[in-house]
Amino acid sequence: GVYDDVSIVYTELANCPDWLPLAVFVKGERFRLDRGQVLGYQRQLDLRRGVVSRDVRWRSPAGHTVDLHFERFASLADPHLVAVRCQVMPLDFEGYIKIQAGLDGYPDNLGGKHWQILDQGDEVGQVWLHTRTRHTGVELGMAASLVLQGSRETRHWTMDCDGLPTLAAGYQAQREQTVTATKLVSVYTSRDLERMQAERQVADKAEVPPQMRATLDTFWAEMEAEGSIGESRPYTVADAATGKLNELLERRLRYEDLLAAHEAAWGEVWQASDVIIEGDPTAQLAVRYNLFQVLIAAPRHDDRVSIPAKTLSGFGYRGHVFWDTDVFIVPFLTHTQPALARNLLTYRYHTLPGARRKARAEGYQGAMFAWESAGTGDEVTPRWVPGPQGEEQVRIWCGDIELHITADVAYAAWCYWQATGDDDWMCDYGAEIILDTAVFWGSRAEWDANRGCYEIRDVIGPDEYHEHLDNNAFTYRMVQWHLETALEVLAWLRREHSDRATALEHQLDLTPERLRHWADIIGCMLVLHDPESDLIEQFEGFFDLEDVNLADYEPRTQSMHAILGIEGTNKSQVLKQADV
């Protein structure tokens, strides 16, 4: 995932240049669902194999009927490889068919443009594209190849359209003869090159598995073969992309080979991650579909990105990362794909500088995680949005006072450590997350001399229908737990990794006075417990709010927030979601 921000547009996950374009022309007429006649249509997503396919029987406006089978996959075995295949069979004609396969360098995010084209070109059997995000400066290179099988007298050529480099092939089609067009695309970003260079430095100093060594050796051999390091020009992401396709050609790897490796990788993932429900096929499909969405969005080779609230399913929330990832997704991955959980939590470590900037800006110490996070960890929650009916702008307070996310991240880190026993990660990354966010809570808790206790005032809990709350139960209990855990982690570090403990004590200013302050907060936190009912009040004053009978509003198609309005929900016991 690559984030970018441009004028007027929020920081958001940039829609990648499009690798999908593949067009079929039947005797000069382009296949389109909105033209001619669709005589048959089926589209499916194979969750087990991770393959999307589509079968169409189409009659062109001129009356030529053709069967088309499309399928595509983004390789789980190789994060730099995607593939598209199209099979074309004329049913009632013979004649000229043309296939075009290109790269589109002009994607947008609902109108926002994030990429600028640096260069493009072609070489034998390939076209390539080199782009860069306008603000964050992340470069992306793509290369594509096109191969036809089963055709006779095929002619190949390229079209060097600005920002749309395209491969084309034409042939004389025979009735009921299938021709298969295979488009392979490789993708690299500048972050990939930086990571591979770092891995090479590590590999040069240590023994690594033969497969990793071979991959790194191939990559650096290609760089050196270009003769470009420090010479005529620097090695680019476009060079890496074209090099990947050349490697496939040299190894004579076919589409079937790449698909088999992809399917094998999915087989291993499902073996570890599947949830089986007996007796309810609908629930089974729903669970597997949602697991699939999580698994395809999880970063396998990059710990500087995470899983957005809407995964990769669309532009919702602009690709921002919320507490949902840490509280709901990380636990699942911790027990099924711990390496992926580790990446998601290490993303939080890399965003600590942004969390520290936010704490300072708000007048606090330590690290205060953003409610909505992107590439740097700085707060990217919009402060104003249009109202639900498109009326005047509504103030969004989540980025200011929905603070529980800071404890949520620490909780996810702790649970990962407890489940996996990954002491190295806790020592190198997790401890700093837990301790510096504890420093924040130490500066955020307020002493009430009249009550003789600490309070957490002016917050939003998980139930976002209620804002500007004092002593939200979920928040203050998480703060208590967080400070208790921070003291445990520091004690563990002192026992097992004394050098790291000393370094963090100095870096984070973990003085004896600060640690005693944490202990005071733990022991003197206000608890809203009603001894008569044995209930814990969700926040101070919740029991005094209007008790609304939801049945009185049925049937309804709108949320209670839309019906009652912001003020109405704030004054009632209607919840967006329960805090616990």
Catalytic residue among 464, 484, 537, 540: 464
**Identity of the residue numbered 155:** R
Give the closest residue to 21 by CA, choosing from 185, 249, 244: 185
Is residue 461 within 8 A of residue 475, CB to CB? The reply is yes
Please give the C-alpha separations between residue 138 and each of 185, 200, 237, 373, 419, in angstroms, as whole numbers.
19, 21, 10, 18, 35
The DSSP-derived string for 176-221 is T--EEEEEEEEEEEHHHHHHHHHHHHHHHHS---HHHHHHHHHHHH
139 is a catalytic site residue = no
Give the closest residue to 262 by CA, choosing from 316, 300, 307: 300
Collapsing DSSP states into helix, strand and coil, what is residue 118? strand
Q: 548: buried, middle or exposed (CB in 10 Å: 19+, 13-18, 0-12)?
A: middle
**Identity of the residue numbered 381:** T
Strand positions, DSSP E, 368-496:
384-386, 393-395, 446-448, 453-455
The DSSP-derived string for 540-568 is TTGGGSB---GGGG-S-SS-HHHHHHHHH
CA dist., res. 348 & res. 429, Å (int): 9
Encoded tokens for 131 = 């782009």
Strands 95-102 and 384-386: unpaired
C-alpha of 185 from chain center: 21
Is residue 328 within 8 A of residue 311, CB to CB? The reply is no
Residue with tokens 């088999």: 260
Is residue 441 within 8 A of residue 408, CB to CB? The reply is no
Is residue 92 within 8 A of residue 176, CB to CB? The reply is no
CA dist., res. 298 & res. 340, Å (int): 7
The DSSP-derived string for 122-179 is EETTEEEEEEEETTT--EEEEEEEEEEES-SS-EEEEEEETTEEEEEEEEEE-TT--E
Fill in the DSSP letter of residue 318.
G
Collapsing DSSP states into helix, strand and coil, what is residue 391? coil
CA dist., res. 166 & res. 185, Å (int): 12
Cβ burial 92-118 (10 Å sphere, 16+ → b, else e) = ebeeebbbbbbbbbeeebeebebbebb
Is residue 130 within 8 A of residue 237, CB to CB? The reply is yes
**Identity of the residue numbered 348:** R
Q: What residues are annotated to the active site?
A: 464
